[in-house]
Amino acid sequence: MSTTTGRRRAGANRSSAERSSTGRRTGNRRTGNRSSANRSSVERRSDERRTVRRSSTRRSSTGRRRKRRAALKVTDVGERYAAFLTATFVGLTLFGLVMVLSASSVSSLHQYADSPFFQFKRQVVWAAIGATAFIIASRIDYRLVRRFAGPLMLVTVALLVVLLVPGVGIERNNSTRWLGVGSFVVQPSELAKLALIIFIADLLARRERRMDRPELTVRPVMFVVYLCSALIILQPKLGTPVILGAVALIMLFVAGARMNNLLLWATASIGAVVIIALATGYQKDRIDGWLNPWESPQGIGLQAIQSQVGIASGGLFGVGLGASRAKWGFLPFAHTDFIFAIVAEEVGLIGASALIGAFVLIAWYGIRAALAAPDRFGMLLAAGITSWLLVQAFLNIGMVLGVLPITGESLPFVSAGGSSLVTTLAAAGLLTSVARRAKE
């Protein structure tokens, strides 16, 4: 009896233990379900937060892009700047066509099928191409050219290399500077000026916060300048490397590079130019002709003497359009490098001063466009193009007046030359595009 009662109590204890264990397991399952549900809920909330953050980021970035686009809208002040620049560029180009017709009529009559209009007709064609480039460049957003900064620089370097391959380039006056077929001829060194300015403006705009590190700013810029200059010097041509170096240093100064670094590079560059000029036969002859033109009045000093004779003959009001005597075989290259002498002879000191005044206007409005540019790239692009036009005009006019050695650089917008006219008008269009978006 007692044994049976003990067994019943033991069975009852086991049953209660099993029930409690089953209850605990059931409770654990319920707790686990609740915790998993809580985790799922937390994960859902986290996903929702991430989605909200992404959408807000997209909205903010879209808003920033819209603000940037809105900041580059055409302004009233910019339209005034652009109007003055456009009028100056158009006036210089038309005046250049008139002077090319006058200065080249005799040489065209003598050299090209007895037609005095041969050089003029070619210049009109190039002017039409350049005008198209100007209109397109002035109407687009100038930031679009940043996409082509690197490729354009590579294409330019490739063209300069191809030019040195024997039998590929076209040789004229003991220099191989042209590529082309038949009457269609281009000069890659002219493209190098514009390509280098766009490349430098893009690089310095992207590295705005690293201007205190010359290894990331000054050195890459000067490496590209020296590379292009070396290829151009081998043509041979020394005037364009001088322009490239001067423009690069000005752009670096505007970008905020350290002055001690710029002075070091400027000193090294000037020293290199002097050494190359003295070591190269034709450049040394040009320096001798500049310093002592009367030692060889019918040789290396001929251009220096005849250009000054033409300028002196013009007097105050000039001898009249088309009445120049220097172009009758006395002054070589009267319609290209030395066209300013024909200008001074035919329209006098007043006309020559007005021409110089046009470049002063370009300087004034180019600087104002750079200072009021809506972004850093636009500022550097405007500064580079303005400095290019002014430095080249200074070299040409100084050469004609006899205060500088002969460099072979043309007078922008005025001298005959297709590649020069097209590239300068395209650059002028980009400068006008920056000016149109000047800040109020």
Average pLDDT, the chain: 87
Residue 411 carries which DSSP code?
Answer: P
List pLDDT tens digits, range 337-387.
Answer: 999 999 999 999 999 999 999 999 999 999 999 999 999 999 999 999 999
pLDDT at 4: 45
Q: Of 435 and 31, which is predicted with more confidence?
A: 435
How would residue 296 be classed by pLDDT, with cut points 50, 70 and 90?
confident
- Please state, for a pLDDT cut of 70, what percent of the chain lies above it: 83
Domain ranges for the chain = 1-71, 76-436
Q: What is the pLDDT of residues 78-93, one digit of tens each?
A: 999 999 999 999 999 9
pLDDT digits (tens, 9 = 90+) for 32-47: 545 444 555 555 565 5
Residue 56 has pLDDT above 80, yes or no: no
Check residue 280 and give its pLDDT.
81
Looking at the predicted structure, is the pLDDT value of residue 394 above 90? Answer: yes
Query: Does residue 394 or residue 2 have the better pLDDT?
Result: 394
Among 121-135, 143-157, 289-303, 393-407, name the one with the lowest average pLDDT: 289-303
- pLDDT tens digits, 230-276: 999 999 999 999 999 999 999 999 999 999 999 999 999 999 999 99
| Per-residue pLDDT at 38 | 52
Contact 74, 434 (CB under 8 A): no
Task: Using the structure block, give the residue that is written with the tokens 């905020």.
Answer: 256
Residues 6+ apart with CB under 8 A from 178: 163, 169, 170, 172, 185, 186, 187
Q: Whole-angstrom Cα distance, residue 395 to residue 410?
A: 9
**Per-residue pLDDT at 12:** 47
CB-count burial class (<10 Å; 0-12, 13-18, 19+) for 168: exposed
The alpha helices in 164-258, defined as continuous H runs, are: 188-206, 218-233, 239-255
